[in-house]
Chains A and B, each alone.
Chain A
Amino acid sequence: MGPFVPDLISDQLNLVVALLLGIGFGFVLEQAGFSSSRRLAGVFYGYDFTVVRVFFTAAVTAMSGIALFGYFGWLDVKAIFINPMWVQPAIVGGIIMGVGFIVGGYCPGTSICAAAIGKIDAMFFVLGGVAGVFGFAELYPNFMNFFDSTALGSIRVYDSLGISQGAFALILIVVAVGMFYATTLIEKKVNKTAAPSLSFPVKSHFIAGSFAILLALVLFLLPDRETRLIAKATQQSTIDQSARIVPPDELAFWILDRETNFQIIDLRLEENFKALALPNSRNLKLGDLLGKESRDAFASKYLRKVLVADTENEERIALSLMKDLGYENLSLLEGGLPSFQQTILEHSSTGLDGSRWDADVVRFRTEARADILKQIETAKQAPAAPVKKAKAVKGGC
């Protein structure tokens, strides 16, 4: 499951990966004609809208790919870098860059690409870029506060607009296709004979457009992976044969015995967990089970995962979900936590069948109750164990 940085690809290998991806980036940029400042500036005057076509096709392709990969579970979309928002700096910086674009005719990426093929104006642009960064750096103390102002974190555009991800994808693609069409008309008006859109067949416009609309519909109708998997787990009616059902006495024995190769996953609400939690248990929501932290913590098949919730049914749903996600060695607590509370933590005579082992069971339960209640108390006093946060991918410019 992507991304492979930082776990499978070390930071050093990542540099090699960067180089290779950069070669692909530079190659495509130059092939698209972005090494020409006149071509780039054309977007602002209507004589060449290549920028619109390439830019939006690229954004839509990548966006759709990420959405689809996330849907199929090939990419952990919660682990990727989402560039954070500082409202005023983004707008002011964007305005400054806009002036730089129309005056300079390049942006940093395209200027490097153009410089590579010998464009002297691009080389001046890059030198200007160096000067600009240096000037900013030296004057930085003057706008340090502005630089850090109005931070909103890594917000997503569909959240900011209050619509679903699929709805936004649909709107974006429809807008892009509309722009593809409109720009062709504008180009022909500005330059009847040599409009760039005439240099490739009209058929390709239609192919691109229809493919895009189809993609938009697919993305709009796609439920996100978490919803889909949880719904699937909830609807699963038959309990998995490989799931172990752990009776309260057995769990009590593991806790009493200070066993280390099991982990209690507590699915109850946080306030209930805070009120009473079994020793060494972790409080998670169903959705958390899809995340990287869960994968890192529970991946081992030698670690027995015991699911605990208010009802056995909730435990079964969670177990079904975890099985779907590929976890092994899953168990659930028979009767849910209430059964454990009743049998072990409160009074000891539940489930006794009148056999001659009853006395031993009662004695065990009494001892277990005393010890486990003490463990719970100690855990409450001690500071919470630091949960190992998944290493987020570093990104940004």
Chain B
Amino acid sequence: MNTRYLNPYLAGFLLGLVLLATVFITGRGLGASGAIKNIVIASVHRVAPSHAETAPFYSSYFKPGADSPLRAWLVFEVIGVLIGGFISGLVSDRLKLTTESGPRLKPQARWMFAFIGGALFGAGAQLARGCTSGAALSGMAVLSTAGFVTMMAIFGTGYVCAWFARRLWL
């Protein structure tokens, strides 16, 4: 890995400024998992509208007169993340269709574990009302108890499970 990444303190500082700007302008923090949730909800409604309008998880998004779930702050923010990430990759010559995994793992296995990890994150983020960006990072910035508790639960668990998952990365 000899690509040039930004000095992490500088990157952290810039990320902090983006987060500060977000809170200052909009009064809320950044996030990610909520966008995935809204996309799922909108998709389910497209495919099975009556189910979406009656089942408990989805129904609150389809009250009469409500906007499409896709018209949500996080959905637009996440589109921005796609664009911003792409521009950064373009600028730093990191655009490449590739699979990244530990040295002992074949790409296909990596894809499977990535999918499982994503599924766990998707479900867990619903329970915790946020992921590392929304609950942990933004939560820490506004000094919410939920932010710190969620962050410690995520990283604490990661460390506990690290030994079991070592073949994925080492």
- A interface residues with partner B (beta carbon < 8 Å): 2-5, 9, 14-33, 35-39, 41-45, 50, 53-63, 65-66, 69, 74-75, 79-87, 89-109, 111-122, 124-138, 140-141, 143-144, 147, 152, 154-160, 165, 168, 196, 200, 204-205, 207-208, 393-397
Contacts and interface: CB of A to CB of B under 8 A. Distances in A.
Nearest to B151: A94
Interface of B: 1, 5-37, 39-41, 44, 55-58, 71, 73-74, 76-89, 92, 94-102, 107, 110-162, 165-166, 168-170
Contacts of A65: 16-17, 20, 24
Contacts of A17: 25-26
A190 to B, nearest CB: 10
B19 A120 contact: no
- Report which residue of A9, A116, A207 has the largest number of chain B beta carbons within 10 angstroms of its beta carbon: A116
Given A103-B117, A121-B100, A94 B149 contact: yes
Contacts of A26: 80-88
SS class, residues of chain B in contact with chain A: helix
8 closest cross-chain pairs (CB), A and B: A104-B117, A22-B80, A94-B153, A128-B118, A132-B122, A61-B16, A98-B157, A57-B12
17 contacts: A22-B83, A25-B77, A30-B89, A35-B85, A44-B159, A54-B8, A55-B12, A63-B141, A80-B23, A93-B153, A102-B117, A109-B131, A133-B36, A136-B122, A138-B57, A152-B145, A156-B143
A58 B8 CA distance: 10
A116 B81 contact: yes
B115 A395 contact: no
A32 B23 contact: no
A62 B81 contact: no
B10 to A, nearest CB: 8
Contacts of A81: 27-29, 142
Contacts of B95: 117-118
A83 B113 contact: no
A57 B10 CA distance: 8
Given A3-B26, A21-B30, A45 B169 contact: yes
Contacts of A24: 18, 21, 80, 84
B169 A118 contact: no
Given A33-B11, A97-B128, 18 more contacts: A3-B28, A26-B82, A45-B170, A56-B12, A57-B8, A62-B20, A82-B142, A94-B154, A98-B156, A102-B158, A107-B133, A108-B122, A109-B31, A121-B107, A130-B36, A133-B40, A133-B122, A393-B27
Contact of A104 (B18, B28, B40, B114): B114
B27 A5 contact: yes
A183 B77 CA distance: 32
Contacts of B14: 28, 31
Contact of B118 (A39, A117, A125): A125
Given A25-B77, A90-B129, A204-B7, A4 B145 contact: no
A50 B20 contact: no
Nearest to B94: A117
A59 B100 contact: no
- Report which residue of A41, A82, A95, A133 has the largest number of chain B beta carbons within 10 angstroms of its beta carbon: A133
Nearest to A89: B127
